[in-house]
A and B are shown apart, each in its own frame.
Chain A
Amino acid sequence: MTAVVSLRNVAKSYLRGKQQVEVLHGVDLEIASGEFLALMGPSGSGKTTMLNLIAGLDQPTSGEVSVAGERIDGLSRAALAAWRARHIGFVFQFYNLLPVLTAEANVEVPLLLTNLSRGERRKRVETALQLVGLADRAKHKPNELSGGQQQRVAIARALVADPTLLVCDEPTGDLDRRSAEEIMNLLQALNRRQGKTIVMVTHDPKAAEYASRELHLDKGQLVDEAERRAA
């Protein structure tokens, strides 16, 4: 299978006050098309930083990041924004829906960055909402939906523009067990039936079980599974 994501010797450090904090150290990673990868690790291990680099929300201090066949580590902010619109669908822990918009208007937001006609946009929104089982909640605003429903709307929003990669940051972090299972089943179905490539950061081992591959980060480095178990 071809690699959709490729990280070569990626390092990332931040300035915290006057101190340089190394978050990732020389990470190498390949994610194949159609994979469902769960990134796990303790707080501060660099999971979210790595996810941000893959999603083009941040730039590495050194190393190469290629996603969807394109080097993105050198792109400008504006170019990265346009690139994200084409290739990345986001699912956030707190859903991040726009409170003043209805579910269907929220799902339509990424399509406003395309040249699709209004009719085409409407059709796609409808399909996406059907896919997540919320066609009957299209006219509801986020505050009229449960947490699980809101996250499903967020997934529909992430899918609607048919991105190369679905990036999920703790998608079940704010949900009860039952809703979390529903969301994980939905993500797994999207991966298995639609062939969507998914990268998910999670603390929850149960959520990680739905993924086709698990990777662990510790102190900014990917840890070998055997090493991890031994430790």
Chain B
Amino acid sequence: MTLFKQIAAVTLMNFKSLPHRVGTSIVIVIGIAGVVAVLVSVLAMSTGMLETMEHSGRDDRAIVLRNGSASEMGSALGRDAARLVEDAPGIKRDSQGKPIASAEALRLLNLFRKEDGAEVNVTLRGVGPQLHTVRPEVKIVEGRMFTPAVTEVIVGKAAHAEFKGLNVGDRIKTRGATWTVVGVFTSGGDSHESGLMTDAETLIAAEQRGSVQSVTVLLESPAAFQKFKDALSSNPALAVDVSREREYYRRQSETIGKVIYIIAYVVGGIMAIGAIFSALNTMYSAVSARLREIATLRAIGFGATAMVMSVLAEALLLALIGGTIGAAIAWLFFNGHQVSTSAGGNAAGHLIFELSVSPALIVTGIVWACTIGLIGGLFPAIRAARLPVATALRAI
């Protein structure tokens, strides 16, 4: 009990003396705020991208690519192969007994970003006639749905916001056709919103190519996946890879996600080392400035533990303030901020997503801040505790 009282009393005295040491205390706060702001912002990129990619898939949908293809862009399936896939067991059927599947063709369009005018590859996805049953999340929010056999496209909401020339009524020229934008769609914030959609047959005909890139199917249930996969794997006429859709999109974002994580932690780590030294410097200064007080309290009978804890508490308080400011900066300036990257996996082409400063990221930032504060406070705290009282009193 007395120990807690000692710690509380000394800590309170430290806190009360903080306004007298604003200059040195601000150094630690700014240092840690910087680390947390950078770390949380960069990680928000990764989190936002992962969230977008995770929204792009469902467990009861499967995607079939040519054997060995890492992504849709590297895949090509002939029409016969696509038909064989659609006939496989495990696929849900509509009221007329037709398998619910969409053989999809992908092409890249060159579009220009509104923000800086940069030319970027954007995916034009040709989808099958059962788009609404395969992907019920696709909803028209402006204009109307494209008409099959007519060179019309609908534009994802994120692409509409990001690129020039994608308003309803605008025209997009490609080598094989001129496409008219007839609508804007949402798809639950997934990666498809970064691209455009049209009728697959119209796209294949306009581009004069005979193959599709993938077949996406709606399964009878998530459990039917194995049956579907086994049937395709055992069919000697097919050489395909089958994945659950959610897994596929997760894989697509894995590499870039890892790169962003590494960047976040390397940059954050380097900054954290700097912040630790600044915290050490600040806390050593704090201990030096309070040498007389510490020696006096020790002489009166306050224990070493109370000194250690009080210095650590001060470092933690400053770190918490810094961490909170850093997280607040990241949240204010970056949360919900739309960014785009062409490295979101070939499946997505140019991926547009919102930075997401999630509560988990804020906790991560605060944990980093506290760790920096604790490391920065530890050695000065030990110094305060080991101070030979008689010598310290004489040195004053």
Contacts from A to B (Cβ < 8 Å): 48, 52, 55, 57-58, 77-78, 81-86, 88, 90, 92, 94, 96, 98-101, 109-110, 112-115, 157, 169
B 385-396 binary contact with A (CB < 8 Å = 1; else 0): 000011001101
Is B149 at the interface (CB under 8 A from chain A)?
no
Interface residues of B (CB under 8 A from A): 1-2, 5-6, 9, 13, 16-17, 20, 292-293, 295-304, 389-390, 393-394, 396
CB-based contact B20/A81 at 8 Å:
no
| A99 cross-chain contacts in B, Cβ below 8 A | 17, 20, 293
Known: A92-B393, A98-B13, A112-B9. A57 touches B299 (CB 8 A): yes
Contacts of B389 on A, CB cut-off 8 Å?
Answer: 57
Interface contact A84-B303, CB-CB below 8 Å: no
Given contacts A94-B396, A110-B301, contact A57 B390 (CB under 8 A): yes
Contact flag A48-B394 (CB < 8 Å), given A99-B17, A109-B9, A115-B1: yes
CA A69 to CA B68, docked complex, whole Å? 88
User: What's the nearest-Cβ distance from chain B to residue A117, in Å?
Assistant: 12
A96 touches B5 (CB 8 A): no
Q: Is the CB of A112 within 8 A of B390?
A: no
A100 near B394 (CB under 8 angstroms)? no
Q: A96-B292, A113-B2 are in contact. Are A78 and B13 (CB under 8 A)?
A: no
Q: Which residues in A have their C-beta under 8 angstroms from that of B2?
A: 113-115
Contacts of A113 in B (CB 8 A): 2, 5-6, 300-302
Residues of A within 8 A of B300 (CB): 84-85, 90, 109-110, 113, 157
Known: A96-B296, A113-B2. A81 touches B393 (CB 8 A): no
**A82 and B301 contact, Cβ closer than 8 Å, known pairs A101-B13, A101-B16, A112-B5:** yes
- In whole Å, how far is B19's beta carbon from the nearest beta carbon of chain A? 9
Q: List A contacts of B390 (CB < 8 A).
A: 52, 57-58
Contact B293 A98 (CB under 8 A): yes
* CB of A33, distance to nearest CB on chain B (Å): 21
Tell whether, in the assembled complex, residue B296 and residue A81 are in contact, meaning their CB atoms are under 8 Å apart. no
CA–CA, A98 and B310, complex, Å: 15
Min Cβ gap B169→A in Å is 70
Q: Are A109 and B304 closer than 8 Å at their CB atoms?
A: no
11 A–B contacts from the bound complex (CB under 8 Å): A48-B394, A57-B393, A77-B304, A81-B304, A88-B301, A92-B296, A92-B393, A99-B293, A101-B13, A113-B301, A114-B2
Smallest beta-carbon distance A200→chain B, Å: 16
Q: How far is the CA of A137 from the CA of B9 in the complex (A)?
A: 22
Task: For B303, give the chain A residue with the smallest CB separation.
Answer: A81
B1 cross-chain contacts in A, Cβ below 8 A: 115
User: For residue B17, which residue of chain A has the nearest CB?
Assistant: A100
CA distance A99 to B13 in the complex (A): 9
Closest to A110 in B: B300
Q: Which residues of A contact B296 (CB under 8 A)?
A: 90, 92, 96, 98
CA–CA, A9 and B298, complex, Å? 27
Interfacial chain A residues near B293, Cβ < 8 Å: 96, 98-99
Q: Give the distance in Å from the alpha carbon of A133 to the alpha carbon of B20 in the complex.
A: 30
| Given A96-B292, A100-B16, A84:B299 Cβ within 8 A | yes
List B contacts of A96 (CB < 8 A). 292-293, 295-296, 393, 396
Residues in chain A near residue B394, CB distance under 8 A: 48
A117 to B292, CA, bound (A): 28
User: In the complex, which residues of chain A have a beta carbon less than 8 angstroms from the beta carbon of B292?
Assistant: 94, 96
- Give every chain B residue within 8 A of A57 (Cβ-Cβ): 299, 389-390, 393
Q: How far is the CB of A52 from chain B (nearest CB, A)?
A: 4
CB neighbours of A78 from chain B (8 A): 303-304
**Distance in Å from the Cβ of A231 to the closest Cβ of chain B?**
28
Besides A57-B299, A81-B303, A96-B292, 9 more A-B contacts (Cβ < 8 Å) are A48-B394, A55-B299, A85-B302, A90-B296, A96-B393, A101-B13, A109-B9, A113-B2, A157-B300
